[in-house]
Amino acid sequence: SLLYGMLAVSVGSWLGALFCHSHIQLASRCFGNITYITWSVAHNMTLLCVLLAAEIIVNVLSRIKQSVELPGETRLYIPGGCEECFSRSRTRSRCSCLLPAISTNQLLYFLLGNVITGVVNMVIHPHFKTPSTLASMGLMVAYLVLVNGAICLLFVFRCTAKFW
């Protein structure tokens, strides 16, 4: 029922953004007008709906997999949710350790992302150049690999930025 409510808010926000766009004024991030605000709410609600739907699907598939145990088969590991990642008793895990890695070094992840964003903005100058779509996607992939890779390496080697 939460997903249905979120979908209703998302659809309503998209309709509101469309109405504001056609009857009030174009969306402007600089001015922060009502059209931009409704578009931003609609976009973020849609993203949250997609992520919630993905989580529901993973949970349903996990329960189906756990109810049907096949001989010689291990249980389904949900990315970031297995005991191996949280206990870190093994040096190499069979699941994705991205979520616990980010949870371990949240502040460092945030700061590293901000620093790399600043470096990209200094190098690219987004107001003067318009890179191609392929170059933009390549830049985003490199950004995500760098930030997530650094945090995962710190997690694998049991390094943390916490000093308290």
φ/ψ (deg, to 5) at 64? -65, -45
Higher pLDDT, 136 or 114: 114
- The CA distance from 30 to 32, in Å, is 6
pLDDT of residue 117: 87
Residues 101 and 82: beta-carbon distance below 8 Å = no
- Whether 7 shows a pLDDT value over 60: the answer reads yes
Mean pLDDT, residues 80-91: 51
pLDDT of residue 87: 55
pLDDT of residue 79: 44
pTM over 0.85, yes/no: no
Residues 33 and 16: beta-carbon distance below 8 Å = no
Residue type for 6, please?
M
Instruction: State what percent of residues in the chain have pLDDT above 70.
Output: 74
